[in-house]
Structure 1
Amino acid sequence: MAIEFEEEIQVPTKIKVIGLGGGGGNAVGRLVDRKLPQVDLIVANTDAQALKGCRVSQKIQLGCKITKGLGSGADPEIGKNAALEDRERIREALEEANIVFIAAGLGGGTGTGAAPVVAQVSRSLGALTIAIVTLPFTFEGRKRALVAETGLKELKPKVDILIAIPNQKLIELVKKEDSIIQAFQPADDILYQGVSSLSDLVSLPGLVNVDFADIHTVMNSKGEALLGFGEAKGNGRALNAARLALANPLLEEKSITKARGALINITGPKDLTLNEVNEVMSIIHKETDDDAQIIFGAVIDERLEDLLKVTVIATGLEA
């Protein structure tokens, strides 16, 4: 008697990115031009005018009954209640996601207040939930900084991974002649690289494959994290890209040496070699604790030609 085996069906990993409030909505809006295949972009805001001007197609206006579309007035309690009012619409938008990125600027009303609500909805759906948030500039004042600090504490236990970017660091990185859009580019890059690296790992052909279960293992409930990335061409591209990934100036106060886990993505053209993978991993291994759980993937993207990219997401950074 012949025995027939059912063919295993590979269900693709679904990634969704939701930007909250002005800061988060702007950051996700700027991802539109960067063309992330197989990633859904969503924006949610209490400010109807801001939503109207955003190029992201999937939009959620929060708290119409509470705010009348006029925003939260920098009050996180209003932002929270607005998100609770539209909790079901948020749930519908995030359904079927395996990984959800939440982008928000903390210190104002909508991003600060809505982020914990969205995070709770995301995790209730079983999605791995990653928040990438910005903290106010020093010139925005002590009150806004305190609001952001309180919001960060409330958000942290409600997500699997939390990456906080101090906007003040941007001032140290930009040139005097840079536009505001150029100034925010490094922060935008953190969000883009986080999303694109996980998307690459689960969708591109791999020399070393990583699936959603691997990602979940190293990122589930791991708390504070850092994300570093680097890219290089030509001779020594692997070493140079790895060193750049470990030297992210936006996150210099945190160190990979304290990480309890790390997810490494190496993306290169079709001539990517096993020796280059070894060079990258050797550098990273020297910087991490011997007991840290490290998962890495190496994937091929023929569009890169000579370019090699390394992304490091280090998790569990609590002292």
Structure 2
Amino acid sequence: MSTNHAEMMFALAEDHAPKILLVGIGGCGCSAVEVMMQSSLAEKVTLAAINTDQRELKLTKAPVQIPIGEVLTKGLGAGAMPHVGEQSARESIQDLEALIQGADLVITVSAGGGGTGTGATPVLLEVCEQLQVPTIAFVVRPFSFEGKRRLVLADTLIERCRNLAGTTFVLENAKLQQALGADAKLDDALEAANHYINELVSGLLATIDSEAIARIDFAHLLSVLSGKGVGRGSVIESANSETIIEKVADFPLLQSIQPVEDGDSNAKILMHIWAPESFTLADYAEINEALHEQLSSYADLTSGFSVWDKPSFRVVLFVNHIST
């Protein structure tokens, strides 16, 4: 193959890279996008922020900013009222349609319980469905101390997303609270939540990263994350391969998956491993075999791995439960 032809093929591959749009909606979503702006995600996806609160929107410094409901809210926010967030999104529906055009995948990040995120997220997902653009929704469920009203609204958002998005991943702030401990400062907890979302999304997209040693193609990713399931994800870290096998095998979300003896499992598992250069094919096979042993050889498990310059291991694991 000539050098010129090789360069043309490389350029063609670059042109056909999937166009992924990540949209933060409402206060929580915009905060998450602000963190992502400082990470490697900013180079791999188009980051956008949507809000009724124009002052908060500008703080994200996202390259794409969509103020919604300017007539209804005057740019002052939705007042924690989901119906205002929804009406604002419908007022600005043409802007949302223009945002979505040309995307191959839209990932939304929002919190349930407030006004803009709870109300506007389903509208954006509706637009995606109408334009036949695949979607993945990340929804943050509030702390229990935020009150039953916010929890009920969050659960309503989760259900609406489940009926619209390919997969809805639920992030429980209550579990984050347990992990950080009672003495954690509020600012630290909110920052940790944003970084956790960043790590999960990074892990999800790492499965199709061209720099990964073992990866899947974009169509396979969409297949795994389809079916309007409700998913959970987790970041697991370990100093060595032996411990990571134990931690992955003991992953709590896997315990709810019933072993199957045919191809009708109602769960799809997606895993990506970051490992040091010493990581071998045997190590990779052992982790996959451990999971198959626990879930049966018929489990729908998709995995990949990347090499990094750290001596430790990181695994991002997603479980997508499909309603039957």
Structure-to-structure mapping, 1:1-319, within 5 angstroms: 9-10=12-13, 11-36=16-41, 37-233=43-239, 237-245=240-248, 255=255, 257-258=257-258, 260-301=267-308, 304-316=309-321, 318=323
2:184 aligns to what SS in structure 1? coil
**1:219 Cα offset (Å):** 1.1
Deviations 1:189-247 (A, max 9, x none): 442233212332222334333100111121112411111222333xxx23433444566
In 1, Cα distance between equivalents of 2:192 and 2:298: 31
Q: Evaluate the alpha carbon distance shift between residue 129 and residue 256 of structure 1 in structure 2; reply closer, same or farther with a 3 A threshold.
A: farther
Contact 1:228/1:245 (<8 A) preserved = no
1:261 aligns to what SS in structure 2? strand
Q: Evaluate the alpha carbon distance shift between residue 277 and residue 261 of structure 1 in structure 2; reply closer, same or farther with a 3 A threshold.
A: same
Q: Evaluate the alpha carbon distance shift between residue 139 and residue 177 of structure 1 in structure 2; reply closer, same or farther with a 3 A threshold.
A: closer
**1:267 Cα offset (Å):** 2.7
1:30 aligns to what SS in structure 2? helix
Q: Which runs of 5+ in 2 are unaligned?
A: 1-7, 259-265
Q: Evaluate the alpha carbon distance shift between residue 253 and residue 184 of structure 1 in structure 2; reply closer, same or farther with a 3 A threshold.
A: farther
Q: Evaluate the alpha carbon distance shift between residue 287 and residue 114 of structure 1 in structure 2; reply closer, same or farther with a 3 A threshold.
A: farther
The farther-off stretch of 13-22 and 268-277 is 268-277
What TM-score comes out, normalization by structure 2 length? Answer: 0.84
In 2, Cα distance between equivalents of 1:246 and 1:30: 31
**1:31 Cα offset (Å):** 1.8
Q: Which runs of 5+ in 1 are unaligned?
A: 1-5
The equivalent residue for 1:3 is: none
Q: Evaluate the alpha carbon distance shift between residue 96 and residue 134 of structure 1 in structure 2; reply closer, same or farther with a 3 A threshold.
A: same
Contact 1:239/1:279 (<8 A) preserved = no
* Aligned length in residues: 307
In 2, Cα distance between equivalents of 1:96 and 1:228: 30
**1:177 Cα offset (Å):** 3.9
What TM-score comes out, normalization by structure 1 length? Answer: 0.86
Aligned-residue Cα RMSD (Å) equals 2.6
The farther-off stretch of 252-261 and 283-292 is 252-261
Residue identity in the other structure for 1:200: A
